[in-house]
């Protein structure tokens, strides 16, 4: 294989490349987070429109199960494109994939914003929203995989910045929703402002991506040697990855470039070495998506006398707490990694998270069929904090431990398998949420 003369990398002047990569990380997970955080808006609009239609027609009420369908139709395209990404990436150039995905995401978010002011039949509005969620997450899957291929060419700290940006995407969406609720504008204007925010953020992400190859520091790595790219990607894979439920398939989408002279093991041979970590990451996300957000958004405050607190309770105690603690959990493995990958305590810790399902279902859920054992707001916040922190922490350990069970040349295969089982866990959890939603 031909060699390329080593050159000293230029300086990242003003940390411009670092800032751009951070913004790209934020932009990749905004679609999922904005539709999930807007649960109150979609449920409220579907409920109000359907009640208005019922009053005219005299028909019975209908439960659209927005949160369950939103979760399921977000994860299915991710699962599909996880299986098809190897074909897509070989046939379509990276620059076209990224630009096309961002443009389509912008168009779909613009459509969602425009529909705020359009009166529609509830069935039609629900169908259009679900179709939008499907196509946006399809583009998001392509976008994440493509951008991780780009970021994987840079030094490891840039991958960390990208992951940090993804982690902050959820907090950004939650704060945007909080500001729209606290604004003095009417509901339609507040919702319009909320959905215009990701439109602007998507345009900024596109501009940053187009600017990146024009910077000298970025060009040095984007035009680097095949071997240099492989070393950078491998180093990044070996570091603890910040995997969370909002991370979707991102963690293992780095485009590795192993040396052609190395022979890799079969997929089945690699799976036999990492099967426990694969099942653990599936379990982590299945538990999380089974109750978040379908159950957690139904929890209500006990302080019903305070209208202001009732308006922001779900946004603050559900989404802000979850995203903040999940980010803390995903960052914690850089400080401590316990239990170890060989300890029986690790799968035990993963399985123990199942206890959060009944704990959250026994909170102060609206019109619950179950008895309420944790009625106070503080109890719900504590349970949510432990639930989200353990999700981020254990998922990160799963993704960090898996490559350690295989040889360096098999890290790509291990990462691809972990990605598949990560998304599988999301899909299983989203499917299971339909059943749990009927029990409360």
3-state secondary structure of 118: coil
In-domain check, residue 241: yes
pLDDT of residue 60: 53
Q: What is the CATH number of the domain that holds 414?
A: 1.20.1250.20
In whole angstroms, give the CA distance from residue 221 to residue 427. Answer: 35
What do you get for the CA distance between the two ends of the chain, in Å? 61
- Give how far Cα 67 sits from Cα of 71, 73, 128, 182, 189, Å: 6, 10, 15, 23, 23
Contact 267, 289 (CB under 8 A): no
Backbone angles phi, psi at 299, to 5 degrees: -70, 135
pLDDT of residue 282: 96
pLDDT of residue 2: 46
In-domain check, residue 301: yes
pLDDT of residue 233: 40
Please name which of 247, 82, 81, 254 lies closest in space to residue 165, comparing C-alpha atoms: 247
Name residue 299's beta-bridge partners: 365
Specify the number of domains making up the chain: 1
pTM score: 0.79
Apex CA 63: angle with CA 60 and CA 65, to 5°? 170
In-domain check, residue 8: no
Residues sharing a CB contact under 8 Å with residue 14, sequence separation 6 or more, in sequence order: none
Domain hosting 135: range is: 15-439
In-domain check, residue 259: yes
In-domain check, residue 69: yes
In-domain check, residue 348: yes
Q: Give the helix/strand (H/E) hosting 348.
A: helix 345-352
In-domain check, residue 179: yes
pLDDT of residue 414: 80
Mean pLDDT, each 10-residue run in order, the chain (440 residues)? 59 89 89 89 81 54 84 86 64 85 95 92 93 92 78 75 81 91 84 92 95 91 55 42 45 42 76 94 95 94 91 94 92 87 95 97 92 94 97 88 84 74 89 90
In-domain check, residue 220: yes
**At how many degrees (to 10) do helices 156-182 and 187-211 cross?**
160
């Amino acid at each position: 294989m031909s060699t390329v003369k080593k050159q000293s990398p230029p300086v990242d002047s003003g940390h411009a490349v670092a800032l751009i990569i951070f913004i790209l990380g934020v932009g990749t997970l905004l679609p999922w987070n904005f539709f999930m955080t807007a649960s109150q808006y979609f449920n409220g609009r579907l409920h109000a429109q359907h009640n208005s239609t019922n009053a005219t027609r005299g028909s019975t009420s209908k439960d659209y199960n927005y949160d369950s369908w939103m979760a399921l139709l977000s994860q299915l395209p991710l699962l599909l494109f996880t299986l098809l990404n190897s074909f897509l990436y070989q046939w379509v150039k990276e620059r076209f994939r990224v630009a096309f995905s961002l443009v389509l995401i912008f168009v779909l978010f613009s459509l969602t914003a425009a529909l705020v002011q359009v009166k529609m039949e509830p069935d039609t509005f629900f169908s259009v929203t679900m179709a939008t969620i499907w196509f946006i997450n399809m583009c998001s899957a392509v976008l994440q995989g493509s951008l991780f291929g780009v970021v994987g060419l840079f030094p490891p700290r840039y991958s960390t910045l990208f992951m940090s940006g993804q982690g902050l995407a959820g907090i950004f969406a939650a704060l945007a929703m909080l500001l729209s609720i606290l604004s003095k504008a009417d509901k339609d204007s507040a919702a319009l402002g909320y959905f215009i925010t990701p439109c602007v953020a998507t345009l900024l992400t596109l501009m940053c991506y187009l600017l990146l190859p024009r910077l000298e520091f970025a060009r040095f790595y984007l035009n680097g040697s095949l071997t240099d790219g492989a070393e950078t990607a491998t180093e990044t894979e070996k570091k603890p990855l910040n995997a969370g439920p909002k991370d979707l398939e991102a963690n293992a989408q780095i485009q590795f470039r192993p040396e052609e002279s190395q022979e890799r093991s079969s997929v089945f041979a690699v799976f036999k070495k990492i099967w426990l970590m694969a099942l653990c990451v599936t379990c982590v996300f299945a538990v999380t998506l089974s109750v978040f957000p379908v159950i957690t958004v139904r929890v209500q405050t006990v302080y019903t006398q305070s209208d202001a607190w009732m308006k922001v309770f779900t946004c603050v105690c559900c989404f802000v707490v979850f995203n903040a603690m999940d980010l803390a959990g995903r960052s914690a493995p850089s400080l401590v990694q316990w239990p170890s990958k060989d300890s029986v305590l690790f799968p035990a810790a993963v399985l123990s998270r199942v206890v959060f399902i009944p704990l959250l279902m026994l909170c102060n859920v609206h019109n619950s069929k179950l008895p309420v054992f944790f009625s106070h707001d503080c109890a719900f916040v504590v349970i949510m904090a432990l639930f989200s922190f353990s999700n981020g922490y254990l998922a990160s350990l799963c993704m960090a431990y898996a490559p350690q069970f295989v040889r360096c040349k098999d890290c790509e295969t291990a990462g691809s398998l972990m990605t598949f089982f990560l998304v599988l866990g999301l899909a299983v959890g989203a499917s299971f949420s339909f059943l749990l939603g009927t029990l409360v």
